[in-house]
Structure 1
Amino acid sequence: MINIHATKKLYAKLPAPISAPQSETTPLTPTLSLGEREQNPLSGWNANLLILQRRNCVLLVHDATRFPLFVKGLLKADFANFNHLFADALMNTLLKLGASQSQLDTAAALLAPCRFDTACDRSVQGTMNQMAGDLEHRLWFDNARLDDLSSYATGAWLSDRPCTVKGQKDCIWPNSAMLALLSRAGNSAPAKRNVIQLADYLSSRNG
């Protein structure tokens, strides 16, 4: 599974039964055990809903690497299809970074259904808020239209920065950290292949 910690604002947009009422400390779906995290290093994200130029957008940040994904212009029906949106954003953003074929294969093999809770991490949320602020500033400063912005290139742009992590002395660069994570995952054990066709992602790129 891909565990995603959603803000209340985003969680309210998710369709039932995912959006059933829950307390902040009792997620609807259990958080991953240490064993599950070791099996799927792609799991563990914080996500928030952004309203940019009156459009629903979602910004996700990977807990361990601070790697961001940006999904723009969501309609109501899109929230029910978040598994595809997540996979599309991840694979195409990695392509924008110039990930190797081995790293892409590993990422594709680790894709799994998304499950949501509201147990957000304040440290990751701090990174996410900084990225959201930079994105909003870029739209305003460049007088850019959201529709003209590539979601995948935006994710790659947001990943090219040093980020601080609580309890860690040195900064990490999300782009390098995510590619290194995929390399380690690919080398540690042969990943079971998902039925994922990279051609689908290549054909869906928007620039």
Structure 2
Amino acid sequence: MIEIHCTKKLLARLPVDEQGNLPVSKTHGALPTVPGQLSPLSGWHANLLTIQRRNCVMFVHDTTRFPLFIASLKKPDFANLEYWFEDALMNTLMKCGATALQLKKVGHALQRLKMDSQTDRSVQGSLNQMGQDAGFMLEDCKVDEILGYGLAANLAQRPCMIKSGKDALWPERDFLALLESLPEQGAAPNPRTVQPTLPENVTSMAGFRYRKDRYH
């Protein structure tokens, strides 16, 4: 599983069960789960932001401070937050120049999300700062006309200071380094994110998604 430490404001919007699990999407199915085992991608904080009267969710990875930004969520989208997390993670990594092998490792490591309210002050501080920065970055554009991948990738390229460390974290560099450290083979890959190996001169469009109401 992948643990997501949510603010009370966000958790109140999520239709989770007593174990902190979101309902299985009838459209997208469920991510795999390894009972009693955390995914190497586990450990994120998440907060609900209101930007231009739209509901947005910001995620920050605990150890690297790598951010994800999901814009303009409607009520049904909160039940499908597992899908939107996966979508934001894969597409933001592509914006950051992740290699095909790194994306494949992510596909192997993706598991179901488990939501809780256990937050860390240091990570919470980074989450709040990135949320404020996102609001400033969106002042000159409409939040309901963006996907958020580029915004998150931009935030990932900035240094992030933490209270417990002398050196700054560089979210993009540090998260990609985390992916490099993962084994090439892991749990059964998620078929929604891992595509068959193709010849170098062939490009698959399976990983690209077009939605009429969201772009950029």
- Normalising by the residue count of structure 1, what TM-score does the alignment of the two structures yield? 0.84
Task: Describe the shift of the 1:14–1:148 C-alpha distance in structure 2 as closer, same or farther (beyond 3 A).
Answer: same
Measured after TM superposition, the shift of residue 197 of structure 1 is 3.5
Identity of matched residues, %: 46
The RMSD of aligned alpha carbons is 2.0
Name the stretch that deviates more: 65-74 or 191-200: 191-200
Consecutive unaligned residues in structure 1, runs of 5 or more: 19-27, 30-34
The structure richer in helix per residue is 1
**Hey, what's the Cα distance between the residues in 2 that align with 1:16 and 1:148?**
28
Q: SS of 1:116's equivalent?
A: strand
Measured after TM superposition, the shift of residue 172 of structure 1 is 1.1
Aligned to 2:208: 202
Aligned to 2:47: 48
Structure 2 counterparts to residues 1-207 of structure 1, below 5 A:
1-17=1-17, 28-29=19-20, 36-37=37-38, 40-140=39-139, 143-186=140-183, 190-192=185-187, 193-198=189-194, 200-204=206-210, 206-207=215-216
**Hey, what's the Cα distance between the residues in 1 that align with 2:165 and 2:192?**
35
Measured after TM superposition, the shift of residue 165 of structure 1 is 2.7
**Hey, what's the Cα distance between the residues in 2 that align with 1:166 and 1:144?**
33
Measured after TM superposition, the shift of residue 16 of structure 1 is 4.4
Q: Tell me if structure 1 keeps the 8 A contact 2:46–2:59.
A: yes
**Hey, what's the Cα distance between the residues in 2 that align with 1:200 and 1:82?**
21
**Hey, what's the Cα distance between the residues in 2 that align with 1:88 and 1:125?**
23
Q: How many residues align?
A: 188
Task: Describe the shift of the 1:200–1:122 C-alpha distance in structure 2 as closer, same or farther (beyond 3 A).
Answer: farther
- Normalising by the residue count of structure 2, what TM-score does the alignment of the two structures yield? 0.80
Q: SS of 1:125's equivalent?
A: helix
**Hey, what's the Cα distance between the residues in 2 that align with 1:134 and 1:83?**
24
